[in-house]
């Protein structure tokens, strides 16, 4: 992975920024992104203001900000001058974050996974995947967002399970990845 991209629905910025259940994790996702892609802005919205607010939010306490910001709109309508900044900030973020993707051919012990995620909370920022828990008939969405772990029912999904994790680069995150991969390759 060369960069973390966060897609921001401009029409929902106010709701996400002030939602008591998800505002903190939403802000964190903005702050860890190397690139923000802004889409779905309403005609009555001041897009320049939305982008300025996102830039300020992305700087956070570190003052580093995002490397690039773009909008999903036709270049025929004109571009947003001054949106791209140097890749220096982008490289700083890339040096601190790491991600992994692990495939699971069979069910996984949900309690084991939840405990593992808690043990590595100091290095794990986000985890999400389509997994089948042991004893369950169908796949579910597993999601770690902030400190909350959730399982959500989904329609039956064909194929194997998949878990994606984003965390702080280093020995602890590497250890977590090793543990997840060992469990994936263990006979069920």
pLDDT digits (tens, 9 = 90+) for 79-116: 333 334 344 443 444 457 788 899 999 999 999 999 99
How does pLDDT run across 13-30, given as a tens digit for each residue?
888 888 776 778 888 888
* Selected residue with higher pLDDT from 157 and 7: 7
Q: Show the domains of the chain with their CATH numbers.
A: 5-85 (no CATH), 96-185 (3.30.1220.10)
Share of the chain above pLDDT 70, in %: 76
pLDDT of residue 92: 44
Cβ contact 143:128 at 8 Å: yes
CB contact at 8 A, 41 and 12: no
**What share of the chain has pLDDT > 90, as a percent?**
25
What is the pLDDT, as a whole number, of residue 165? Answer: 92
Q: 158 pLDDT exceeds 70?
A: no
- pTM to 2 decimals? 0.54
Alpha helices in the chain (DSSP H): 13-18, 23-32, 47-59, 88-96, 110-119, 171-185
Instruction: Report whether 27 contacts 61 (CB < 8 A).
Output: no
Name the average pLDDT for the chain: 77
Residue 171: both structure tokens together: 């020995």
């Amino acid at each position: 992975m060369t960069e973390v991209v966060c897609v921001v629905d401009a029409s929902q910025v106010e709701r996400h920024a002030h939602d008591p259940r998800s505002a903190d994790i939403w802000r964190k996702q903005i702050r860890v992104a190397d690139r923000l892609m802004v889409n779905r802005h309403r005609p009555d919205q001041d897009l320049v203001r939305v982008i300025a607010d996102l830039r300020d939010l992305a700087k956070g306490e570190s003052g580093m900000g995002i490397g690039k910001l773009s909008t999903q709109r036709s270049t025929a309508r004109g571009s947003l001058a001054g949106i791209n900044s140097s890749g220096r900030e982008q490289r700083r973020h890339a040096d601190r974050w790491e991600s992994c993707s692990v495939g699971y051919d069979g069910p996984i012990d949900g309690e084991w996974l939840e405990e593992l995620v808690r043990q590595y909370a100091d290095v794990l920022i986000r985890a999400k995947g389509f997994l089948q828990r042991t004893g369950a008939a169908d796949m579910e969405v597993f999601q770690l967002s902030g400190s909350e772990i959730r399982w959500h029912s989904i329609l039956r999904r064909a194929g194997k399970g998949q878990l994606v994790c984003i965390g702080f680069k280093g020995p602890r995150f590497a250890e977590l990845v090793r543990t997840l991969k060992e469990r994936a390759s263990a006979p069920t």
